[in-house]
């Protein structure tokens, strides 16, 4: 049992815990936007933990460095693309008129759009 294996196992466990929390959030949260937040944030963190953890685990278990290299590439790719996809999904959801949770207090985006009123609907930097 060397250190790398222990670190890898810990990271995988950590990531799986975050996966679980993310799924829990999907069930517990009231509306699309909060659900998207739990789904993307904790699922991204969870995948980073699991993926990099698997690489480190393989390194400690006698696998080649190729594992770690590939897992790092995948992790960076996920880290860069997951927020973009989440942003796009949420923006599309807002634009197609899905309402916020009835308990939410402030909707600056709609206020700004109402103020701009005519044209320039797409101008909003979301």
Residue 122 interacts with other proteins (CB under 8 A): yes or no: yes
> In this chain, which of 13, 81, 98, 111 binds other proteins, going by CB under 8 A?
81
Stretch touching other proteins by CB under 8 A, among 14-22, 41-49, 79-87, 107-115: 79-87
Residue 126 interacts with other proteins (CB under 8 A): yes or no: yes
SS3 per residue for 65-104: HHHHHHHHHHHHHHHHHHHHHHHHHHHHHHHCCCCCCCCC
Stretch touching other proteins by CB under 8 A, among 25-33, 45-53, 82-90, 104-112: 82-90
Tokens of 13: 């466990």
Task: Give me the residue label for tokens 């196992």.
Answer: 9
């Amino acid at each position: 049992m060397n250190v790398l294996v222990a670190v890898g196992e810990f990271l995988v466990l950590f990531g799986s815990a975050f996966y679980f929390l993310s799924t829990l959030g999907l069930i517990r949260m009231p509306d699309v936007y909060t659900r998207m937040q739990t789904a993307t944030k904790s699922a991204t963190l969870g995948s980073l933990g699991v993926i990099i953890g698997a690489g480190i685990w393989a390194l400690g278990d006698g696998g080649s460095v190729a594992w770690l290299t590939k897992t790092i590439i995948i992790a960076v790719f996920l880290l860069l693309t997951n927020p973009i996809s989440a942003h796009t999904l949420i923006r599309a959801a807002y634009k197609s008129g899905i309402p916020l949770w009835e308990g939410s207090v402030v909707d600056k985006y709609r206020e700004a759009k109402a103020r701009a009123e005519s044209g320039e609907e797409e101008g909003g930097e979301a």
